[in-house]
């Protein structure tokens, strides 16, 4: 099955929702509120678009018709990167996307997707729920008339697809790479030229040579994008998105106008999908990595310590620049740094230490 055929068919059994369709059931009653959701990803997009559709369908199901949910994928109502303004203006009630797309509006938005050398999924989940992250997110989002909730995570991402081997940091110089967020700022400091492209446009730019490299997510998501047709070197681990959190961003006036029960339903649906997306990703990445290597000859490469040290130095500069932006930005990133230290230090002697020792004994490669 080719890439386009897959994207057309993938959502049929996985929460696919037609453009603008009314999802709520039973029949819409008087007093029903409209909830138009716009997405930053194409329809039935593996690993990202499908969970977005799944969340929209779940909200409609659980509210039993009180919310008339209409879902529009990227380009069906507005362009992917126009989603923020569509919701902040009140033209739509919600978007589903990655909040680091909006770092040009305020650098603090990056913290609520991923920070280079930042938080893993487990650490991010702890920070958002119990480390003050949600309160800081509310403060930032409130300045733009929004209310945001976590609705997914992709875990530690791969470092990306490259059309040449990256043996030293100098090999990054002059490279045109699709990499958004602060990860793109890190690459820029190392001499690369970061490019921001919606997911649906990456493949054609990589195949045409308009870009030399791209990051996306991981093997499960990347397999269906067919990046291996243009770039054979697949690098790990990604420093740029160690636990990329996905968001449901709602117009705050819409959110404030909801009954408490419907607010709690949306919170619960987002928490459910946040867990489901991470579980689905973890369940599939290993199998799809094997297919990429065995069936398509992809060459798996690990970034050297020298390259990673260069990433780290550049990431620290990017973080310091973001903190200098404003008092709120400083407060957000100081909270991320504190969570990285406190939660990360325990993870080092628990999950990480256990996995390393288990895998050594069992001979699991890594």
Q: pLDDT digits over 231-256, tens only?
A: 999 999 999 999 999 999 999 999 99
Task: Identify the CA nearest to 185 among candidates 288, 337, 91, 318.
Answer: 318
| 157 among annotated binding-site residues | yes
| 204 among annotated binding-site residues | no
Q: Is residue 115 part of a domain?
A: yes
Q: Is residue 8 part of a domain?
A: no
Residue 17 confidence (pLDDT):
52
Q: Is residue 328 part of a domain?
A: no
What's the start-to-end Cα distance of the chain, in Å?
A: 31
Q: Is residue 274 part of a domain?
A: yes
317 or 4: which carries more pLDDT confidence? 317
Residue 236 confidence (pLDDT):
98
Q: What is the mean pLDDT of the chain?
A: 93
Strands 213-214 and 176-178: parallel
Q: Could you give the number of structural domains in the chain?
A: 1
| 165 among annotated binding-site residues | no
Q: Is residue 324 part of a domain?
A: no
Q: Is residue 126 part of a domain?
A: yes
| 139 among annotated binding-site residues | no
pLDDT tens-place string over residues 282-300: 999 999 999 999 999 999 9
Question: Cβ(24)–Cβ(69) under 8 Å?
Answer: yes
pLDDT band at 89 (very low <50, low <70, confident <90, very high): very high
- Residue pointed to by tokens 């409209």: 34
The phi and psi torsions of 28 (rounded to 5 degrees) equal: -65, 130
Q: What is this structure's pTM? A: 0.91
Domain that includes residue 50, residue range: 33-153+243-282
Instruction: Mean pLDDT check: name the lowest of 14-18, 136-140, 170-174, 231-235.
Output: 14-18
Percent of the chain surpassing pLDDT 70: 92
Q: Is residue 302 part of a domain?
A: no
Written as six digits, the tokens of 5 are 């055929």
Residue 83 confidence (pLDDT):
98
Question: Could you tell me the CA-to-CA distances from 235 to 80, 162, 290 in Å, in that order?
Answer: 27, 8, 14
- Over range 206-225, report the average pLDDT: 97
| 341 among annotated binding-site residues | no
Tell me, what CATH number does 37's domain have? Answer: 3.40.190.170
Written as six digits, the tokens of 16 are 């696919």
Q: Is residue 330 part of a domain?
A: no
| pLDDT of 309 over the 60 cut | yes
Instruction: Mean pLDDT check: name the lowest of 19-33, 169-183, 323-337.
Output: 19-33
């Amino acid at each position: 099955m080719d890439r386009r055929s897959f994207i057309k068919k993938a959502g049929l059994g996985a929460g696919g929702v037609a453009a603008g369709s009314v999802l709520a059931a039973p029949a819409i009653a008087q007093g029903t509120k409209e909830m138009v959701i716009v997405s930053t990803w194409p329809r039935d997009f593996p690993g990202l678009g499908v969970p977005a559709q799944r969340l929209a369908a779940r909200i409609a199901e659980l509210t039993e018709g009180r919310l008339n949910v209409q879902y529009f994928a990227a380009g069906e109502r507005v362009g992917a990167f126009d989603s923020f303004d569509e919701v902040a203006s009140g033209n739509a009630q919600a978007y589903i996307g990655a909040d680091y797309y909006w770092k040009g509006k305020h650098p603090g938005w990056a913290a609520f997707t991923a920070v280079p050398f930042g938080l893993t999924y487990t650490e991010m989940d702890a920070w958002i729920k119990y480390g003050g992250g949600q309160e800081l997110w509310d403060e930032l989002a409130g300045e733009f008339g929004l209310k945001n909730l976590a609705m997914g995570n992709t875990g530690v991402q791969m470092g990306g697809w490259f059309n040449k081997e990256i043996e030293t940091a100098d090999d990054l110089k002059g490279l045109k790479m699709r990499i958004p967020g602060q990860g793109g700022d890190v690459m820029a400091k190392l001499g690369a030229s970061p490019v921001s492209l919606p997911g649906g446009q990456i493949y054609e730019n990589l195949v045409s040579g308009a870009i030399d490299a791209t990051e996306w997510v991981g093997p499960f998501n990347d397999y269906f994008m067919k990046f291996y047709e243009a770039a054979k070197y697949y690098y790990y681990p990604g420093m740029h998105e160690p636990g990329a959190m996905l968001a449901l961003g709602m117009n705050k006036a819409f959110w404030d106008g909801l009954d408490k029960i419907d607010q709690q339903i949306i919170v619960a649906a987002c928490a459910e999908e946040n867990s489901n997306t991470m579980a689905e990703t973890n369940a599939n990445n290993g199998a799809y990595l094997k297919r990429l290597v065995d069936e398509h000859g992809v060459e798996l490469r690990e970034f050297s310590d020298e390259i990673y040290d260069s990433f780290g130095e550049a990431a620290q500069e990017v973080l310091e620049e973001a903190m200098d932006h404003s008092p709120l930005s400083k407060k957000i990133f100081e909270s991320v740094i504190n969570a990285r230290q406190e939660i990360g230090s325990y993870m080092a002697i628990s999950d990480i230490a256990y996995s390393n020792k288990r895998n050594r004994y069992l001979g699991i490669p890594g």
